[in-house]
Structure 1
Amino acid sequence: MRIAINMLRSRLDQRRTLAEAAAVAKLAPDTFSRLFRAETGRTFRAYCVAARIERARELLTETALNVTEVAQALGYNDYRLFARQFEQHNQGCPPSRWRGSNPG
């Protein structure tokens, strides 16, 4: 399981599938999904989104990348999806306001 989690976190710009992560863990997708949720407390998809948003907060705080560049660096082709997910994980705070309220 740790190998699959490390794979996900090492390449947040790539959208990994449950099947890919299960293959890395050498488990059937259904088994992997159940064990993943038991270990992380989140579904595979929710974990992937949360990991991207966590990294987005870091990039917005620690770099000069603009919000669109942060979204692209994390594999988002749709800025609106990035902004919506960011707000959902940050109490309604959009990425542009996060940067202003959390200077690096």
Structure 2
Amino acid sequence: MKLIIALIQPEKLPDVKTSLYNAEVYKMTVTNAIGCGQQRGYTEMYRGVGEEINLLKKVRLEIAVNEDFVQKTIDAIIKGARTGNIGDGKIFVLDLPECIRIRTGERGKDAIG
């Protein structure tokens, strides 16, 4: 089992969701996040004073998958999120030692579904 965490541009979320659904990946958690990477932000003028904005809006996807869905999930995220510009995001793949479905008490592969 793996936990896939992806940080993407907010405007790419509909494309990523469509791509994931086409890859038969339906379960995910989506949260808003702010952060910066290689983009380093931008400068904005407010009442004549320049202000550095370096924390940019991002969307964080968390998807727990069984081993046979790892590559399909990664490929779907890349397909939906890639623009070819700096700031497209990152994907992290972590080992997931345990998963428990609260409703039924199922564990492991069966709990992920």
Q: Which one has a larger percent strand, Structure 1 or Structure 2?
A: 2
TM-score by length of 1: 0.32
Q: Which one has a larger percent helix, Structure 1 or Structure 2?
A: 1
- CA radius of gyration, larger in: 2
Higher relative contact order (CA 8 A, sep 6+): 2
